[in-house]
Structure 1
Amino acid sequence: MQRMKVNMQSVNFTVDRKLVDFIQRKMDKLENYYDKVIDADVYLKVENTSAKENKIAEIRVNIPGDDIMVKKQCKTFEEAVDEATSTLQRVLLKRKEKVRAH
């Protein structure tokens, strides 16, 4: 299976290999829902707050004629990426159905 091109950016910290692999696996799965994804940008940052849920994952998926942006804030990056990709799956499925209907 071809891997989706994923551009990762992290603000003020270095992403470890385990997290990079986790994100890549999650993003690759999105192609099962919508095969026209061009590429994706993943932004990771830690918000300066005393709250425990301070890890932010923003994912932008580029598809022909549109960008889909999802932002989630959780206790861990894995959790945030997990929630963001779940939301993206639903959005991409809807998009696929809409395209199929035309």
Structure 2
Amino acid sequence: MKVNVHAVNFNVDTKLVGFVQLRLDKLEKYYDRVVSSDVFFKLDNTSGKENKIAEVKVTVPGDEFIVKKQCKTFEEAVELAADSMERLLMKRKQKIRAHS
């Protein structure tokens, strides 16, 4: 699956891109018709520790799912977002199965 990584106002290192690619490739186990995915990394301007935002957008035929998580690290945010995305994709798969 093609994963596009976008970092808003900073450069993302290759280790993080590799982590994102590996983690989002696992989504295809739950729903095999994923077209593409975009990951947006943003830094929140608050003084709190949890200022890293990861927004994961997954495109499937006829729909688009977006999950946004804010954590202390980008890896943790991606992990939580991917977990939520897995649940969304499983629901989608069951809904399609029920109609066919």
TM-score tier after normalising by the smaller chain length: over 0.9
- 2:73 maps to a residue whose letter is T
Give unmatched runs, 5+ long, in structure 1: none
Matched, 1:60 2:57: yes
Q: Which amino acid aligns with 1:100?
A: R
Tell me the CA shift for residue 12 of structure 1.
1.4
Q: Distance in 2 between matches of 1:22 and 1:13?
A: 18
Percent identity between the aligned chains? 62
| Matched residues, number | 99
Match of 1:77 in 2: 74
Runs of 4+ in 1 over 2 A off after TM superposition: none
RMSD of Structure 2 on Structure 1 (CA):
0.5
1:35 Cα deviation after fit = 0.3
1:96 corresponds to which residue?
Answer: 93
Give the Cα separation in 2 of the matches to 1:98 and 1:11.
35
Structure 2 residue ranges without an equivalent (≥5) = none
The answer as to 2:3 corresponding to 1:6 is yes
The one-letter code sitting in structure 2 at the alignment partner of 1:22 is F
Give the distance between the partners of 2:75 and 2:84, measured in 1 at CA. 14
Tell me, yes or no, if structure 1 residue 42 matches structure 2 residue 39. yes
Please give the TM-score of this superposition, normalised by the length of structure 1: 0.95
